[in-house]
Amino acid sequence: MDLGYIHLAIPVFFLLIGVELLLARWLERDLHRLSDSINDLSCGILQQMADVFLKTALFAGYLWLYGSHRLLTVPSASAGAWVLCFLGVDFFYYWFHRCSHEVNAGWAAHVVHHQSEEMNLSVALRQGAFQQAFSWVFYLPLAVLGFPPLMFLAVSSFNTLYQFWIHTRLIGRLGPLEWVLNTPSHHRVHHGRNPKYIDRNHGGTLIVWDRLFGTFQAEEEEPVYGITTPLRSWNPIWANLHYWVDLLDEARRTRRWTDRLRLLVKPPGWHPAELGGVVSPPAVDPRTYAKYDVGLARGMRAYVLVHFVFLNLATTVFLFRSATLLSPWRAVAAVALVVSLVSLGGLLDRRPWAVPLETARVLGAALAAALAPLPLVGAALVLVLAAGSVLWLLRVRADGRAPAPLPVS
């Protein structure tokens, strides 16, 4: 839920990711991997598209409470009101974020953000598509207290934007600021899968809530990033569904209905006694830990990168124009974008179905463009680009026939 500030900031996000990439190269630090960063951004695209369809319905609850059941009317012209709204948003964000880690249903929606085994600015854009459906409830007290909807949306957007820059390994400790603000050092801890780092540092802009409520952990050794059971896939749809599938599988194997319900509200790692009981996070050794990767030839990497750039441009147009599209066409455009993300992810994973799906995707896009009311020159250009893409893909198709994971230290 935002006022469009997140969409407007997208070019800035990409600019800063580029700056981080260049700076890391200059410092000879390996912070980015192509497949991982594309998967991060693919998950972010899914989240933004889901937001297009959900945000109006989810924000209706805030509007209803503010319009009919607010206890006060907070003046939007007051600087003090903005400060109080900022503190309120950050406070409730802490509790939403903490519950996202300590309640299985919340973790299923939030786990996407923690799947990357890297820590860089592209990880900041890796968000769960279902998270908004879970988070909005936590902010409803602000509506009852009388904070105007536009004030809430503006402050909430700032809270989200602030958290972009803390997803980096290039910034060290920040001295006295570490006592008050959430910083890259604090947030690196939050993304660590080391047992002592798990479920720590949930703050958004401020770290004071973690200090007050006992969830603070200072950064000591460099964290090992990711989740305790690695995703091992570049498919953004599977990234959003895999934990739900695991929960459903455990529920199916559980005999008691009460335990099935507990699976949703208990912390991650909890299992019914018949399935082995609670499992603690395993220790991890950074010297032997291997990140997931798949060996791809340069031609396939270049193909995916070029098409992903065009996909990002198409997504940006969709996000800014979605409000003007009729619902059926908006749904068709969203499905086409999702299929594109899955297809490119399949190529990165070297799945057997990826090349046929990608070929069908490119030809389908060309057919749709040809049937659209485009000038003859435009239609011809689209067909030429599609034909070139298919030929390029077929030339490097040997890199996409079978999965071949390679460990990366």
Does the structure show a pLDDT above 50 at 232?
A: yes
Residue predicted with more confidence, 70 or 403: 70
Mean pLDDT of 229-238: 97
How many angstroms separate the CA atoms of 28 and 38, rounded? 21
pLDDT tens, residue by residue, 209-226: 999 999 999 999 999 999
pLDDT at site 231: 96
| Residues whose CB falls within 8 Å of the CB of residue 7, separated by 6 or more in sequence, listed in order | 48, 316, 319, 320
Q: Which residue has the tokens 């890199």?
A: 399
Q: Who has greater pLDDT, 245 or 375?
A: 245
Q: What is the pLDDT of residues 332-388, one digit of tens each?
A: 999 999 999 999 999 999 999 999 999 999 999 888 877 776 677 767 777 888 888
What is the per-residue pLDDT for 409? 41
- Check pLDDT > 80 for residue 183: yes
For the chain, the domains span: 5-213, 298-400
Predicted local distance difference test score (pLDDT) of residue 58: 80
| pLDDT tens figures, 121-149 | 999 999 999 998 889 999 999 999 999 99
Can you give the pTM of this predicted structure? 0.92
Task: Report the C-alpha gap between 122 and 143 in whole angstroms.
Answer: 33
What DSSP character marks residue 283? P
pLDDT for 378 equals 67
User: Which of helix, strand or coil describes residue 374?
Assistant: coil
pLDDT, position 399: 55
DSSP-derived letter for residue 397 is G
Mean pLDDT score, 32-57: 92
∠ CA 133-90-65, nearest 5°, is 55
pLDDT of residue 111: 98
The residue that leads in pLDDT, 117 or 379, is: 117
Which among 97, 82, 172 is positioned nearest to 128, based on CA atoms? 97
Of 126, 172, 127, 159, nearest in space to 32 by CA: 126
Whole-number percent of the chain with pLDDT over 70? 94
- In this model, does residue 288 exceed pLDDT 80? yes
State pLDDT tens for residues 291-337: 999 989 899 999 999 999 999 999 998 988 887 877 788 899 999 99
The pLDDT score that the predictor gives to residue 400 is 47
